[in-house]
Amino acid sequence: MTKEQNTNSRNSLLLKTMAGEQTKRPPFWFMRQAGRVLPSYRLLKEKYSLWHMMNTPDIGADVTLLPVNDLGVDAAILFSDILMVPYAMGMGFEFTENGPVFSSPLAGSTDPIAQLNPDPSKLRFVYNIIDKVIEAKPSSIPLIGFCGAPLTVMCYMIQGLGKKADFPEAIRFMYENRSLTGEIIEIVTDVSIEYVRGQIKHGIDVFQLFDTHAGLVPFDLYNELFMPSIKRISRVVRDNNIPFIYFPKGMGMGIKTVTPDICDYLSIDWQTPMEMARKAVHKEIGLQGNLDPRILYASRKEIAARLEKYIAFGKSNRDWIFNLGHGFIKDTPYDNAKFMANWIRSAHWNR
Ligand code: CP3
């Protein structure tokens, strides 16, 4: 199936915006929209384990499309996880109440490279979900594929458990074992590229690279160690004419150096005001972002006041996708998420 057959880009607000067309309002979708906040998702989670849902194409496809029906978002994001790449390298883990727990993290290994056993064919179950989503989704709704960037994925692989959000053991490992770290980055990147190729072959319309923990190392080191891999992944995506969104959370001033050969759109974290980001980021790169997901704990009045501030930005910036500055938080009141979605759809964007 060709890309044109999957999603009718003329009817898709997201694809139109990414192609540089003028639209009446910004397109929107939310990071972590498929899991977490939706009551319809929580009901499924009472019945099935996460792993079961991600392994069963019909359920995985249903969950992918829940936010399209419930929140009215302009795009669906594949229901899977960034940890499928370590899974395809033979690393066992479980999703627990405290987050993912790996059985044999690399930090405790005498020979981490020997422990990795890459087999990208193990990712086939994800492609089955993509096939089902494409069968079931409205033609106006594009499907976003994704994977984690090597730094973020390696934080989990090395430390084994995100018990401390700043991953001290993982970062220590990277400083202590610089050349070994380089070798692991290459392996993770190779598998990620196979994964990206598979997602593209099965028909995703847009791709987002999540580098949630990009802010854990100084930008210079990030640039030297990890940026070459970001570029390799990006090249594969864009050579296939799939728009590429890059989310380097916490990169700070580093966003000034991101060039159009790296991404089409840059997803801005909640730390950085959009107006400031727009001045800093290369003008040929579109922006995505960046509502602080925690504002959804506040009153409707405060949420509306915060949203109102985006009107001026949206009027003068057409190359902008509304999103959160990081994923939805688990216990976000659903009614407030719904309120936000309705607000974005019905606001007067003055365009
Ligand atoms: O919208 C979606 O939810 C789409 C699917 C998706 C999941 N994970 C499903 C998931 C996406 C895009 C991700 C990305 C992901 N996974 C990231 C990057 C984005 C971010 O939030 O920073 C990271 C760092 C992970 C790793 C991961 N997976 C963690 C730390 C956890 C446990 C805690 C948590 O974040 O919920 C997971 C489990 C996970 N991944 C769940 C789901 C639906 C289970 C939690 C739940 O059911 O809500």
Nearest CA to ligand 1 atom 28: 81
Total domain count for the chain? 1
3-state secondary structure the chain: CCHHHHCCHHHCHHHHHHCCCCCCCCCECCCCCCCCCCHHHHHHHHHCCHHHHHHCHHHHHHHHHHHHHHCCCCCEECCCCCCHHHHCCCCCEEEECCEEEECCCHHHCCCHHHHCCCCHHHHHHHHHHHHHHHHHCCCCCCEEEEEECHHHHHHHHHHCECCCCCCHHHHHHHHHCHHHHHHHHHHHHHHHHHHHHHHHHCCCCEEEEEECCHHHCCHHHHHHHCHHHHHHHHHHHHHCCCCEEEEECCCHHHHHHCCCCCCCEEECCCCCCHHHHHHHCCCCCEEEEEECHHHHHCCHHHHHHHHHCHHHHHHHCCCEEEEECCCCCCCCCHHHHHHHHHHHHHCCCCC
pTM value is 0.96
Pocket test for ligand 1, best of 49, 68, 81 (most atoms within 8 A of CB): 81
Question: pLDDT value at position 249?
Answer: 98
Q: Is residue 351 part of a domain?
A: no
Ligand 1 within 6 A of CB of 29: no
Nearest CA to ligand 1 atom 13: 81
Question: pLDDT value at position 263?
Answer: 98
- Host domain of residue 251: 3-346
Q: Is residue 119 part of a domain?
A: yes
Q: Is residue 310 part of a domain?
A: yes
Ligand 1 within 6 A of CB of 210: yes
- Between the CA of 22 and the centroid of ligand 1 the distance, in Å, is 33
Q: Is residue 124 part of a domain?
A: yes
Question: pLDDT value at position 176?
Answer: 97
The pLDDT tens digits along the chain (351 residues) read 444 456 777 799 999 999 999 999 999 999 999 988 999 999 999 999 999 999 999 999 999 999 999 999 999 999 999 999 999 999 999 998 888 999 999 999 999 999 999 999 999 999 999 999 999 999 999 999 999 999 999 999 999 986 677 899 999 999 999 999 999 999 999 999 999 999 999 999 999 999 999 999 999 999 999 999 999 999 999 999 999 999 999 999 999 999 999 999 999 999 999 999 999 999 999 999 999 999 999 999 999 999 999 999 999 999 999 999 999 999 999 999 999 999 999 999 999
Q: Is residue 154 part of a domain?
A: yes
Question: pLDDT value at position 163?
Answer: 65
Ligand 1 within 6 A of CB of 153: no
CATH of the domain at 138: 3.20.20.210
Q: Is residue 23 part of a domain?
A: yes
Question: pLDDT value at position 2?
Answer: 47
